Amino acid sequence: MSQRGPRAVVVVLSDDEFAELSRWAGGAASPRLAERARIVLACAGGASNARVAAECGVSSATVGKWRSRFAVRGLAGLKDEPRPGRRKSELVL
């Protein structure tokens, strides 16, 4: 069977990473971080981006983004990065 696109990055978890991601996915983190943890856990189980996307209710591009970020930066790659511009608290007068 031929493959349609580029091969997905293989996600391998250490015991500590698995434990932390499971904790986050169980609700010990913000909803966004919990969703990202569930995505990475599913990827570590060997599922394709399309399958993880269907299971998690997100797009394949979203799965690819978080799979890649985790592969490069580990757990820190799943956390929100600072956004450009003023923070909301600075806009309130």
Task: Kindly calculate the radius of gyration of the chain based on its CA atoms and give it in whole angstroms.
Answer: 15
Q: Which residue has the higher pLDDT, 72 or 82?
A: 72
pLDDT in tens, 25-77: 998 889 999 999 999 999 999 999 999 999 999 999 999 999 999 999 999 99
Q: What is the pTM of this model?
A: 0.81
Residue 47 tokens read as 């599922």
Alpha carbons within 13 A on the beta-carbon side of 66: 28
Query: Does the pLDDT value for residue 88 go beyond 90?
Result: no
Q: Are 46 and 56 in contact (CB under 8 A)?
A: no
Q: How confident is the model at residue 93 (pLDDT cuts 50, 70, 90)?
A: low
Q: State yes or no: pLDDT of 92 exceeds 70.
A: no
pLDDT of residue 1: 46
